[in-house]
């Protein structure tokens, strides 16, 4: 029995040493100490030993068992340590490596220009509002004193949804909403998308953006309009910018004007940018037509107002010296990244 135990211990020690997985260790354990295990069998055979030898041999078996269990435990622990070391090595993170910079994109030139225009007019006490892109004919045309036979109302120029509804062709429709929704004094700036049945080219697009301005109060004159737009031009295009008002016609303003700014590229002497004229057209404006005020239940004998409409893309193209409007819509990252 003594030899049998000694041989078992030796063999087991070798098996443990050759094991490289926890599963193998478990197999060894079961083969020895399981129900049908070798050591279990030896323990069972203790009853056949002479009673006087039992304590001694029993002790021997217990010692052998304890030693084998200890060896198995130690081997298991070592194995776990090795597995952990291997895992740590494989998953090592070098916290000193430079990190990847997140790509946060760029502001679109339209947005930069819009925020600049808004900043200027907020500084002058204007409130920013918006109106719907889908409008009734009334808001886009009729209330703005645009007659039913006006060429702008042609289906060639306007996207109609049905007989009454259309995609607004101008942000001037927001003037009517503003005057319907609040009482003078009114001082609003309303940016938004507009739609026209135009073919795409370097200066046209079926969808673009305008910024509408409207002021209505007692005693508002053309001088207020001139002063306001001169201030805007200076802030937007530089302190030395001059403005020129050219008489024009819009159905919803009387008198009406188009406004040019002195070319900020050549200062007015004439260059490729201003096509040699020294001036660049930037917006339309005028004194709100009395009939438009009346439509909104504002008494033209008590109140007067001025309005203006700026093409946002036009401002962005001028400000950033972009020569093709299509670049603003293609969203080519190589282009947008420059702003």
Where do contacts with ligand DAH occur on this chain (CB under 6 A)? 170, 172, 212, 250, 253, 284-286, 307-309
Residue closer to ligand DAH, measured from CB, 19 or 140: 140
CB of 298 to ligand DAH, least distance (A): 16
Residue closer to ligand DAH, measured from CB, 33 or 197: 197
Residue closer to ligand DAH, measured from CB, 65 or 135: 135
Q: Name the nearest CA neighbour of 305 among 173, 185, 145, 190.
A: 185
CB of 152 to ligand DAH, least distance (A): 9
Residue closer to ligand DAH, measured from CB, 65 or 289: 289
CB of 287 to ligand DAH, least distance (A): 8
Residue closer to ligand DAH, measured from CB, 170 or 205: 170
Whole-angstrom Cα distance, residue 300 to residue 218?
A: 9
Question: For residues 158 and 152, is the Cβ–Cβ distance under 8 A?
Answer: yes
Whole-angstrom Cα distance, residue 13 to residue 33?
A: 15
Residue closer to ligand DAH, measured from CB, 29 or 209: 209
Residue closer to ligand DAH, measured from CB, 109 or 192: 192
CB of 249 to ligand DAH, least distance (A): 10
Q: Which residues contact 193 (CB under 8 A, 6 or more apart)?
A: 133, 207, 208, 209
Please identify the residue of the shown chain whose CB is closest to the bound ligand DAH.
Answer: 309
CB of 309 to ligand DAH, least distance (A): 2
Whole-angstrom Cα distance, residue 210 to residue 200?
A: 17
CB of 306 to ligand DAH, least distance (A): 7
Give me the sign of the Cα torsion angle 153, 155, 161, 163: positive
CB of 197 to ligand DAH, least distance (A): 14
Residue closer to ligand DAH, measured from CB, 107 or 249: 249
Tokens of 242: 């001059």
CB of 97 to ligand DAH, least distance (A): 55
């Amino acid at each position: 029995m003594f030899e049998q135990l000694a041989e078992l211990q030796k063999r087991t020690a070798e098996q443990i040493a050759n094991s490289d997985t926890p599963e193998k260790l478990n197999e060894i354990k079961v083969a020895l100490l399981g129900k049908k295990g070798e050591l279990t069998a030896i323990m069972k055979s203790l009853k056949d030993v002479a009673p006087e030898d039992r304590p001694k041999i029993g002790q021997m078996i217990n010692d052998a068992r304890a030693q084998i269990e200890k060896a198995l435990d130690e081997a298991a622990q070592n194995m776990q340590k090795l597995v952990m070391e291997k895992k740590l090595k494989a998953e090592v993170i070098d916290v000193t490596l430079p990190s990847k910079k997140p790509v946060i994109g760029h502001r679109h030139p339209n947005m930069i220009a819009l925020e600049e225009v808004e900043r200027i007019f907020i500084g002058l006490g204007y409130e920013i509002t918006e109106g719907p892109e889908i409008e009734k004919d009334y808001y886009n045309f009729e209330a703005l004193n645009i007659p039913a036979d006006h060429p702008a109302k042609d289906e060639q120029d306007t996207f109609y949804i049905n007989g009454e509804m259309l995609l607004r062709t101008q942000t001037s429709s927001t003037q009517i909403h503003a005057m319907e929704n609040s009482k003078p004094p009114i001082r609003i700036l309303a940016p938004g998308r507009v739609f026209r049945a135009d073919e795409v080219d370097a200066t046209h697009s079926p969808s673009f953006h305008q910024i509408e301005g409207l002021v209505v109060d007692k005693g508002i004159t053309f001088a207020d309009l001139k002063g306001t737009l001169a201030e805007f031009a200076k802030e937007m295009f530089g302190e030395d910018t001059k403005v020129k008002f050219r008489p024009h016609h819009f159905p919803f303003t009387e008198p009406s004007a188009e406004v040019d700014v002195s070319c900020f590229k050549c200062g007015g002497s004439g260059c490729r940018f201003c096509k040699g004229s020294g001036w660049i057209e930037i917006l339309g404006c005028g004194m709100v037509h009395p009939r438009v005020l009346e439509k909104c239940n504002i008494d033209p004998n008590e109140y007067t107002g001025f309005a203006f409409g700026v093409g946002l893309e036009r401002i962005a193209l001028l400000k950033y010296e972009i020569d093709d409007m299509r670049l603003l819509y293609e969203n080519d990252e190589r282009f947008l990244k420059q702003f």
